[in-house]
Structure 1
Amino acid sequence: MSWLKKTKGIAVAALLGASLMVAGCNAKTSGDASSSPTSGGKQEITFWTPFSGPDGPFMKKIVDDYNKQSDKYHVKFQIIPSGEYYKQVDLALSTGKKRPDLMIMHVDQIPTYQKKGQLQPVDDIAAKAGIKKEDFVEAPVKYATIDGKWYGIPLDIHPLVLYYNKDLFKAAGIDHPPTNREEFIEAAKKLTDPSKGQWGYVVPTLWPQQFIFPTIVGQNGAKLADEQGKPRLNSPEAVEALTFLKDLVYKYKVSPEKVAQDGEVTLFLQGKNAMQLNGPWMKDQFDKAKINYGVAPVPQLGTKQQAVQAGSHTFVIPKDVKDSKVLEGIGDFLKYVAGHSIDWAQSGQAVASKQVLASDEFKKLTQQQTIVAQQFDYVQFNPPIINWGAMTADLYKQINLVLLGQKDPQKALDEAQEKALQVK
Structure 2
Amino acid sequence: MRMKKAMAGTTAALLALSVTACGGNNKDAGESASPSASKPAASESAKPAKEKTTVNFWYLWGGTEGGYVEKLISEFNASQDLYEVKGLSVPDVQKVVVGISSGNGPDITDNFSNNTASYAQKGMLEPLDDYISKSNYDMSDFVPAALEGGKFQGKQYALPINVNFSLMFYNKKLFADAGIVDPPKTSDELLTDAVKLTKVNADKTIEVLGFPDFPLVYYTTSMSMAFGGSFISDDGKTLTPDNPGTLEALKLMQSYRNQFGVDNIAKFNSSAKYLDATDPFINGKQAIRLDGPWFGNTVKNVLKKDLDYGIAPLPGPAGHPELAGGGEVSSSTFFIPSNAKNKDGAWAFMSWLMSKENMVKFNSMFSNLPARTSVYDDPAFANIPDFKQFAEAAKSPNLKAFPVFDGQSEYNKVIGDEFELAVNGKQSAEDAVKHMKEKSAGLLK
Alignment of structure 1 residues 75-90 onto 2, 5 Å: 75-81=85-91, 84-85=92-93, 87-90=94-97
Residue 296 (structure 1) aligned with residue 303 (structure 2): no
> Is the 8 Å Cα contact of residues 189 and 200 (structure 1) preserved in structure 2?
yes
1:184 is matched with 190
Name the residue aligned to 1:246: 254
Conserved in 1, the CA contact under 8 Å of 2:299 and 2:305?
yes
Alpha-carbon offset, residue 309 of structure 1 = 1.0
With over 3 angstroms needed to count, the CA separation of the structure-2 counterparts of 1:295 and 1:156, relative to structure 1, is: farther
1:123 aligns with 2:129: yes
CA deviations 1:152-172 (Å, max 9, x no partner) are 221001001222223323444
Q: Say whether residues 1:419 and 2:425 are aligned partners.
A: no
What is residue 92 of structure 1 aligned with on the other side? 99
Task: Please name the residue that 2:10 is paired with.
Answer: none
| 2-structure distance, mates of 1:89, 1:126 | 25
Counterpart of 1:277 in 2: which secondary structure?
strand
Aligned counterpart, 1:150: 156
Cα drift, residue 67 of structure 1: 3.2
1:203, 1:255 within 8 Å by CA — same for their partners in 2? no
Give the match for residue 42 of structure 1: 52
What's the TM-score, normalizing by structure 1? 0.77
**AA partner of residue 122 (structure 1):** L
* Secondary structure of the corresponding residue to residue 287 of structure 2: strand
Counterpart code for 1:179: K
Matches within 5 A, 1:2-81: 41-52=51-62, 55-81=65-91
Residue 39 of structure 2 is matched in structure 1 by none
Pairwise CA RMSD: 3.2
Q: Which residue of 2 aligns with 1:370?
A: 388
Q: Judge conservation of contact 1:257–1:404 (CA < 8 Å) in 2.
A: no
* Stretch moving more, 229-238 or 396-405: 229-238
Offset of residue 201 of structure 1? 1.9
Whether the 8 Å contact between 2:53 and 2:83 is mirrored in structure 1 is yes
| Residue in structure 2 matching 1:282, options 287, 291, 295 | 295
What amino acid is aligned across from residue 156 of structure 2 in structure 1? W
Which residue in the other structure is 2:265 paired with?
257
Letter in 2 for 1:141: L
Q: Which amino acid aligns with 1:347?
A: F
Aligned-partner Cα distance in 1 for 2:343–2:242? 49
Q: Which amino acid aligns with 1:156?
A: N
Contact 2:162–2:371 at 8 Å: present in 1 too? Answer: yes
Q: Is the 8 A contact 1:229 1:385 kept in 2?
A: no
Measured after TM superposition, the shift of residue 75 of structure 1 is 2.0
Match 1:358 to one of 349, 370, 377: 377
- In structure 2, the CA distance between the partners of 1:236 and 1:191, relative to structure 1 (3 Å rule), is closer
Alpha-carbon shift at residue 215 of structure 1 (Å): 2.6
Contact 2:212 2:288 in 1 (8 A): yes
The answer to which of 152-161 and 213-222 deviates more is 213-222
Q: Name the % identity.
A: 21
Moved more, 379-388 or 144-153: 144-153
Question: Rg larger in 1 or in 2?
Answer: 2
Cα deviations across residues 315-335 of structure 1 (Å, max 9, x unaligned)?
211123364652563355335
Residue 16 of structure 1: aligned partner:
none
3-state secondary structure, aligned to 1:302: coil
Paired residues in the alignment total: 378
C-alpha spacing 1:337/1:243, structure 2 compared with 1 (3 Å): same
What's 2:213 paired with?
Answer: 203
1:126-181 CA distance string (max 9 Å, x none): 34555312142222223434454322221001001222223323444445433333
Q: Judging changes above 3 Å, is the alpha-carbon distance between structure 1 residues 152 and 105 closer, same or farther for their aligned structure 2 residues?
A: same
Cα distance change, pair 221–176 in 1 and its aligned pair in 2 (3 A):
closer
Amino acid at match of 1:42: K
Question: 2:108 touches 2:337 (CA, 8 Å); kept in 1?
Answer: yes
TM-aligned CA distance change 1:335 to 1:160, over 3 Å: closer
Residues 262 and 61 of structure 1: is their aligned pair in 2 closer, same or farther, counting only changes over 3 Å? farther
Tell me which residue corresponds to 1:223. Answer: 230
Alpha carbons 1:145, 1:151 under 8 Å: kept: yes
Change (3 A) 1:358 1:156: same
The change in CA–CA distance for 1:262 and 1:147 in structure 2 (over 3 A counts) is farther
5+ residue gaps, structure 1, are 1-38
SS at match of 2:246: helix
Indicate the residue corresponding to 1:313 in structure 2: 332
Question: 1: CA distance between counterparts of 2:194 and 2:228?
Answer: 24
Q: CA deviation at 1:274?
A: 1.3
CA-to-partner distance for each residue in 1:180-214, whole Å, 9 max, x for gaps? 3344334333422224812322414x741xx4222
Q: Which runs of 5+ in 2 are unaligned?
A: 1-48
Q: Name the counterpart of 2:3.
A: none
